């Protein structure tokens, strides 16, 4: 794959491309390597895709030849659109390269994926899908790419779009991976609208109910809680499912990622019942993709049939949830431990491990964003709303689990982008009298600083800014941290703080340099105020990464 993309970069160079504007991201890593390591192409790193598009336009305007514009998958591509439209009407040559995930994952609730083919419509002079799944397809793509590059300049100048689906692994450059990521097709099954009693009684010993992202729903909460005392049923609720109080298993993300394969066999379901939107936990998704349950009943009303784990056997309308629950008969297990007891045993282990980590951090004065988030979660007022930015912030909350409080929790997991997280929180606060807390990272926050460029920011908004002065997530996940491009193209280090911005937009600003100061501030942070409040928590990106890896190294 990487060799094919190196050839793509060379082909662009032969067509006159000597400059590339690159927006940092993960899915686009192979494109980053191809263009940055080309000896005759100069690269520029711009974090904000909206700004990057116009910078590339200005460069092409002066150079009077095509400039490459590269981004990761998802809404990053949409943020190029204004500059692309301007380039179209100004007749400026732009070569837009958007990384994408394999087509088989489209509409399967995989992160950072939208329909990118033809996304710029009539505002580009040509567009293509560059395929790198095999040398034969790559050869055809290279031939098509030549035509696309010509359309960038002839018969008139203008932008063209090349969409590049990329499979994992993204960072192993030394070898070719011939396996297409998640190369499966979903068999079309009709959405059932009749009563699900044809499924028969569900009396298996191991029934898992998995709830993805959902809006708060009291009726569903009541139905799910009716399963709480059934020994053969375990309920796993995503951090933004708004069903976290319907289950005692709060740390399934940590459990699945930290438990060895032999122990995981005890947790395997015989029947899986899934509903709602995407599930955040990558560990859980990978694990469930390996499972072959007797039945996987998917409750949904959308005509696009979702089969994230490749094992759905039946589709049933969500309004049949109550009937499904009636069909679940508590199994008389001959095992010494019931299915729920097994999960509860691991839940207690996870709670103990996390608490031990937190105590150890406090005793040794370690600075960790995970520890800071734990403090914030503990301080959240009951009957309040939590908004969580993507990337590290949502992952921290997922690992720690939400507290036993009356809370609603939200995150932009539809496309999983960092853009618009602050704006979403402000919009939510405008429509609610509850205290709204936004937990966000620095890149997401500064990217969306224009969210405050209005007169409507509510006083009951509270913002927790985790500022590690870079894209800290790329220091936490495997792959980017082993590459020489890590600092410039993934971490995107900066020296911004929120102090001056808070003064400009009228926010009460607080800065905490350690855990003691944060705990003291939380005693008054949620008191009523005439202005919104923001607390900035500074951390060292390397130290935070080291502590987090210690957290992740423990085994249950």
- Identify the structural domains of the chain with CATH numbers, from first to last: 2-165 (3.40.50.970), 196-343 (3.40.50.1220), 365-553 (3.40.50.970)
381: which 2 tokens? 């007022």
Calculate mean pLDDT across residues 262-280.
Answer: 94
Q: In what order do the strands lie in the sheet with 233-237?
A: 233-237, 207-211, 271-275, 295-299, 314-316
Query: 111, 416 in Cβ contact below 8 A?
Result: yes
Could you give the 3-state DSSP secondary structure of residue 299?
strand
Q: What is the mean pLDDT of residues 224-229?
A: 87
Residue whose tokens read 């301007």? 86
In the chain, % of residues over pLDDT 90: 60
Residue 549 pLDDT > 60: yes
Residue 216: closest CA among 236, 237, 233: 237
pLDDT in the model for residue 239:
96
Average pLDDT, the chain: 88
CA–CA separation, 27 and 97 (whole Å): 12
Q: What is the pLDDT of residue 191?
A: 43
Contacts of 37 (CB under 8 A, 6+ apart): 6
Determine the pLDDT at residue 343.
96
Structure tokens at 432: 């609610």
pLDDT at 259 over 60: yes
Give 479-518 pLDDT, tens digit per residue.
666 787 777 777 778 889 999 999 999 999 999 989 999 9
Indicate whether 81 pLDDT > 70. yes
Residue 106 vs residue 404, higher pLDDT: 404
- How deeply is 362 buried, as exposed, middle or buried, from its count of CB atoms within 10 A (0-12, 13-18, 19+)? middle
What phi, psi does 20 have (nearest 5°)?
Answer: -135, 130
Predicted pLDDT at 130: 87
pLDDT greater than 50 at residue 261: yes
Per-residue pLDDT band at 194 (split at 50, 70, 90): very low
* Residue spans of beta strands (DSSP E) within 178-256: 207-211, 233-237
How many angstroms from the chain centroid is the CA of residue 232?
A: 31
Per-residue pLDDT, averaged over 70-90, amounts to 92
Measured CA to CA, the distance from residue 61 to residue 66 in angstroms comes to: 9
CA atoms of 160 and 157, how far apart (whole Å)? 10
142: left (phi over 0), alpha (psi -120 to 50) or beta: alpha
Query: Which structure tokens are listed for 171?
Result: 């960072």
User: 3-class DSSP state for residue 238?
Assistant: coil
Q: Are 72 and 28 in contact (CB under 8 A)?
A: yes
d(CA 134, CA 142): 12
Most confident by average pLDDT, 172-186, 322-336, 402-416? 402-416
Q: Is 80 exceeded by the pLDDT of residue 41?
A: yes
Which strands sit side by side in the sheet containing 160-165, from one edge to the other? 42-45, 19-22, 67-71, 94-100, 160-165, 126-129
For the chain, what percentages of helix, strand and coil (3-state, to nearest 5) are there? 40, 15, 45
Spatial neighbors of 452 by CB under 8 A, at least 6 apart, are 422, 426, 501, 505, 507
What pLDDT is recorded for position 14?
Answer: 92
Beta-carbon contacts of residue 289 (< 8 Å; ≥ 6 apart): 182, 308, 309, 310, 311
Q: How far apart are CA 268 and CA 210, in angstroms?
A: 13
Instruction: Say whether pLDDT at 198 is over 90.
Output: no
Cα-based distances in Å from 436 to 109, 382, 432, 488, 532: 27, 11, 8, 34, 10
With cut-offs at 50, 70 and 90, classify the pLDDT of residue 556: confident
């Amino acid at each position: 794959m990487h060799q094919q993309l190196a050839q793509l970069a060379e082909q662009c160079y032969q067509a006159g491309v000597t400059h590339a504007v690159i927006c940092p991201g993960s899915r686009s890593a192979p494109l980053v390597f191809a263009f940055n390591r080309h000896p005759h192409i100069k690269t520029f790193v711009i974090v904000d895709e909206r700004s990057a598009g116009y910078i590339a336009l200005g460069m092409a305007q002066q150079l009077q030849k095509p400039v490459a514009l590269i981004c990761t998958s998802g809404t990053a591509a949409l943020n190029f659109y204004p500059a692309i439209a301007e380039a179209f009407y100004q007749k400026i040559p732009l070569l837009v390269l958007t990384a994408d995930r394999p087509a088989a994952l489209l509409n399967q609730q995989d992160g950072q994926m939208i329909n990118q083919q033809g996304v710029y419509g009539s505002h580009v002079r040509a567009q293509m899908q560059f395929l790198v799944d095999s040398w034969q397809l790559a050869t055809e793509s290279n031939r098509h790419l030549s035509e696309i590059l010509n359309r960038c300049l002839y018969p008139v100048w203008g932008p063209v779009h090349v969409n590049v689906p990329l499979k994992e692994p993204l960072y192993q450059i030394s070898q070719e991976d011939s396996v297409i990521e998640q190369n499966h097709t979903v068999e079309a099954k009709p959405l059932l609208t009749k009563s699900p009693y044809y499924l028969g009684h569900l009396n298996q010993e191991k029934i898992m109910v998995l709830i993805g992202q959902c809006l708060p729903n009291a009726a569903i909460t009541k139905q799910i809680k009716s399963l709480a005392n059934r020994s053969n049923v375990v309920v796993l609720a995503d951090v933004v499912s708004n069903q976290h109080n319907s289950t005692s298993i709060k740390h399934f993300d940590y459990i699945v990622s930290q438990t060895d394969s032999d122990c995981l066999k005890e947790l395997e379901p015989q029947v899986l019942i899934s509903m709602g939107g995407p599930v955040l936990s990558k560990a859980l998704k990978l694990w469930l993709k390996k499972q072959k349950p007797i039945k996987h009943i998917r409750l949904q009303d959308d005509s696009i049939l979702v089969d994230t784990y490749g094992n759905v056997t039946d589709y049933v309308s969500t309004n049949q949830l109550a009937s499904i629950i009636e069909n679940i008969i508590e199994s008389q297990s001959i095992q010494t431990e019931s299915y729920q007891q097994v999960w509860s045993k691991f839940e207690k282990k996870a709670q103990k491990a996390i608490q031990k980590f937190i105590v150890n951090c406090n005793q040794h004065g370690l600075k960790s964003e995970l520890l800071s988030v734990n403090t914030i979660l503990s301080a959240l007022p009951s009957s309040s709303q939590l908004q969580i930015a993507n990337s590290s912030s949502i992952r921290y909350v997922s690992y720690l689990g939400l507290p036993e409080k009356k809370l609603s929790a939200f995150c932009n997991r539809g496309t999983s982008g960092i853009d618009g997280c602050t704006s979403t929180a402000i919009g939510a606060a405008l429509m609610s009298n509850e205290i709204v807390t936004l937990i966000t990272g620095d890149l997401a926050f500064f990217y969306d600083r224009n969210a405050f460029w209005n007169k409507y920011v509510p006083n009951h908004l509270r913002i927790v800014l985790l500022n590690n002065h870079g894209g800290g997530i790329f220091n936490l996940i495997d792959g980017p941290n082993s590459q020489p491009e890590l600092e410039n193209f993934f971490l995107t280090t900066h020296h911004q703080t929120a102090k001056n911005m808070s003064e400009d937009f009228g926010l009460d600003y607080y800065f905490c340099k350690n855990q003691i100061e944060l705990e003291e501030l939380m005693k008054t942070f949620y008191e009523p105020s005439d202005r919104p409040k923001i607390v900035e928590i500074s951390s060292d990106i390397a130290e935070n990464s080291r502590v987090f890896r210690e957290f992740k190294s423990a085994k249950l």
